[in-house]
Amino acid sequence: MNEEKIIVMDMGNLKGDESLERPTLCLGIESSCDETSAAIVDSNRNILSHIIYSQIPEHQKFGGVVPELAARAHILAIDEVIKQTLERAGKTIVDIDVVAATAGPGLIGGVLVGWMAATGIAHATGKPLVAVNHLEGHALVPRLCATVADGTNGSTAVEFPYLLMLASGGHCQILLVRGVGQYELIGQTLDDSAGEAFDKVAKMLGLGYPGGPVVDKRAQGGNPKAFKFPRPLCDKPGCDFSFSGIKTAARTFLDKNPAPHSEEFINDFCASFQSSVVDCIINRLGNAMQDQRVINAAPKTLVVAGGVAKNSAIRSAMEKLAADNGMIFAAPPMNLCTDNGAMIAWAGLENYKIGNIVKEPIAPRPRWPLTEL
């Protein structure tokens, strides 16, 4: 395994609560897509170690994730990632109290690698095993550590219930999070996810993969009103999204205005496209806040999570929306937005605390909606 592709997360500023009692330690393993990751997190919200092996260099030449290549890379990396995670925490497997791993949803070849590694460790050591829903990992990671816009400019745990915008390359949902395993779907995409739309537009412009970060960066130097893009469903009631129309409009416009493009054109195009996506998200979230289920639950915090949560324009617009509606805005730190082992370890601890452990063999799942928890 190429050492340069190992990312050692600096968690010095992500310390949680201190306790006189020995905290519970969880080893979390994530392998659902194109990162092989493991972390050791304790029940006092401390991240003791966190390793991510990124496969992005392998997939960039194809403009997206190739499932077969991803699965093979996970097989080659998993042992070393787990070994380094233990070593950097100064722990051995004997010190670990519970093992957790993603059991879905995701690319099933990759999911199987991490799940079988965790199952093997649990069976060999007699440690309890937790099957983590990957989406729940994203949904709960703000309770491990979140930057909270409440005037304190500090880090704290997010309390239940909260309203969650979960957005990534494969998912886009608005959820009312009532507790661990308690998710109520308020709205979801009817076609593409926001992350997929960002990646596809970046590919159209030849900006490479992954597309979200580069579109965000280029948009910061552009004019969001330079080009007109549709805002699907924004004139309709409800909380569901649709991003395929924006993507199609981008393709049609570029077909009429073929490359080469100036730097100014690319920046303006990214800014205009991103503005349409942000407007759709804010419109749908605004409707969600008027949903009777949300009103009755009275969540105090508006949360964004998932890979798209790294987008600066989305974070800024959601922070303003929260403030305008008397809510607190919270988001995971940037390095905990994309897929990572720390979120799986924390979700494992949250489930272990309420007794959700594997008691008989289970089959990993490529699809596993949060509402089925």
Helix axes 134-144, 341-353, angle to 10 degrees: 90
150 — pLDDT class (breaks 50, 70, 90): low
Please check whether residues 303 and 347 belong to one and the same domain: no
Please check whether residues 305 and 266 belong to one and the same domain: yes
Has residue 225 been placed in a domain? yes
Residue 62 has pLDDT above 90, yes or no: no
- Biggest CA pair distance of the chain: 66
| Tokens coding 343 | 């979120």
Please check whether residues 101 and 247 belong to one and the same domain: no
Please check whether residues 182 and 261 belong to one and the same domain: yes
Please check whether residues 199 and 112 belong to one and the same domain: no
Please check whether residues 287 and 221 belong to one and the same domain: yes
Rounded to the nearest 10 degrees, how much is the dihedral formed by the CA atoms of 121, 369, 105, 294?
-90
Please check whether residues 60 and 183 belong to one and the same domain: no
CB 133 within 8 A of CB 368: yes
The parent domain of residue 121 ranges over 3-140+336-372
Residue 2 has pLDDT above 50, yes or no: no
Q: How far apart are CA 146 and CA 247, in angstroms?
A: 31
User: What pLDDT digit, counting tens, does each position of 81-122 carry?
Assistant: 999 999 999 999 999 999 999 999 999 999 999 999 999 999
The reported pLDDT for the residue numbered 123 is 97
| Tokens coding 219 | 């948009």
* Percentage of the residues of the chain whose pLDDT score is greater than 70: 92
The CATH code of the domain that includes 271 is: 3.30.420.40
Has residue 351 been placed in a domain? yes
User: What pLDDT digit, counting tens, does each position of 306-323 carry?
Assistant: 999 999 999 999 999 999
Q: How far apart are CA 241 and CA 182, in angstroms?
A: 22
The structural domain count of the chain equals: 2
Please say which residue of 331, 346, 364 terminates a domain. Answer: 331
The reported pLDDT for the residue numbered 12 is 39
Please check whether residues 161 and 87 belong to one and the same domain: no
The SS3 assignment for 85 reads helix
User: What pLDDT digit, counting tens, does each position of 249-268 carry?
Assistant: 999 999 999 999 999 999 99
**Facing residues of 148 across strands?**
330
CB 298 within 8 A of CB 202: no
11-25, 207-221, 275-289, 300-314: the lowest-pLDDT one: 11-25
- Residue position matching structure tokens 């009275």: 298
The reported pLDDT for the residue numbered 7 is 55
The SS3 assignment for 229 reads coil
Residue 160 has pLDDT above 80, yes or no: yes
Please check whether residues 100 and 183 belong to one and the same domain: no
Helices (H), the chain: 56-60, 67-89, 108-125, 134-144, 194-204, 211-219, 244-256, 263-289, 292-297, 312-324, 341-353
Please check whether residues 353 and 316 belong to one and the same domain: no
CB 347 within 8 A of CB 135: no
Please check whether residues 129 and 161 belong to one and the same domain: no
The reported pLDDT for the residue numbered 13 is 39
- pTM of this prediction? 0.92
Contacts of 91 by beta carbon, 8 Å cutoff, 6+ apart? 25, 40, 48, 49
61 — pLDDT class (breaks 50, 70, 90): confident
The SS3 assignment for 355 reads coil
Bigger pLDDT: 333 vs 10? 333
Has residue 145 been placed in a domain? no
156 — pLDDT class (breaks 50, 70, 90): low
Residue 75 has pLDDT above 50, yes or no: yes
Residue 147 half-sphere exposure toward CB, CA atoms < 13 A: 16
Please check whether residues 42 and 65 belong to one and the same domain: yes
4 — pLDDT class (breaks 50, 70, 90): very low
